[in-house]
Amino acid sequence: MSTEAPEAPPLDPNTQMASHRTALSLQRTLMSADRTQMSVLRTSLSLIGFGFTIYKFFEEVEKNTGRTALNHPARNLGIGLVLLGLGLLIGGLYDRYRTMRELGQRRQELYDEGLLKTPSERRTSPNMIASLLLLLGGLLVLLGIVARTGPFG
């Protein structure tokens, strides 16, 4: 006995055209999710970098002038921006995960119904890898700031 699935009957031209359009639509949705993740990555990188720069700038001002009047508010602003960048990145990663899971389930349903010719496939996006590396780097920056000054200044 053969374990191969029986071949589906050929689709009529209209159904075949709809199948191609659906597959392309799913591909466009995937590319849109990639662009959204890239936007989150850029914004998070800006927030984390700007927060760290503010913190380091006022640390140098204090070191060179001995004035500490602006140190704590500036430190808190810097840490706040780093935290905001990390929070945005975590939210973006979760949104990306949820979108990809839902898209994969929908694609699999359409494949099971015979409306798509290829099943759902998993792929790793370079945006996801870059986002995870930025998350790790941002956490290291935050830990470095807290280790240097203590958790409450």
**38-47 confidence digits (pLDDT tens):** 999 999 999 9
Q: In the chain, what percentage of residues exceed pLDDT 90?
A: 31
> pLDDT tens digit string along 82-132?
999 999 999 999 999 999 999 888 888 888 888 788 777 777 888 889 999
Question: Does the pLDDT of residue 134 top 80, yes or no?
Answer: yes
As a whole number, the mean pLDDT across the chain is 83
- pLDDT-wise least confident of 47-51, 69-73, 115-119, 136-140: 69-73
pLDDT band at 5 (very low <50, low <70, confident <90, very high): very low
Q: Report how far Cα 135 is from the mean position of its chain's Cα atoms.
A: 9
For the chain, percent helix, then strand, then coil, each to nearest 5? Answer: 80, 0, 20
**Is the distance from CB of 49 to CB of 142 less than 8 angstroms?**
no
User: Residue 32: what pLDDT?
Assistant: 92
> Measuring CA to CA, how many Å separate 19 from each of 22, 25, 32, 74, 117?
5, 10, 20, 56, 8
User: Residue 55: what pLDDT?
Assistant: 83
Q: What angle do CA 55, 88, 142 make, to 5 degrees?
A: 35
User: DSSP states of 9-31 as a string?
Assistant: PPPPHHHHHHHHHHHHHHHHHHH
Mean pLDDT over 45-64 rounds to: 86
**Is the distance from CB of 54 to CB of 78 less than 8 angstroms?**
yes
User: Residue 71: what pLDDT?
Assistant: 60
Question: Does the pLDDT of residue 60 top 50, yes or no?
Answer: yes
For 41-60, give the secondary structure using H, E and C: HHHHHHHHHHHHHHHHHHHH
Residue type, 141: V
Q: 11 Cβ partners below 8 Å, 6+ apart?
A: 19, 114
Q: pTM for the complete prediction?
A: 0.78
**CA pair distance 126, 108, nearest whole angstrom:** 23
pLDDT band at 151 (very low <50, low <70, confident <90, very high): low
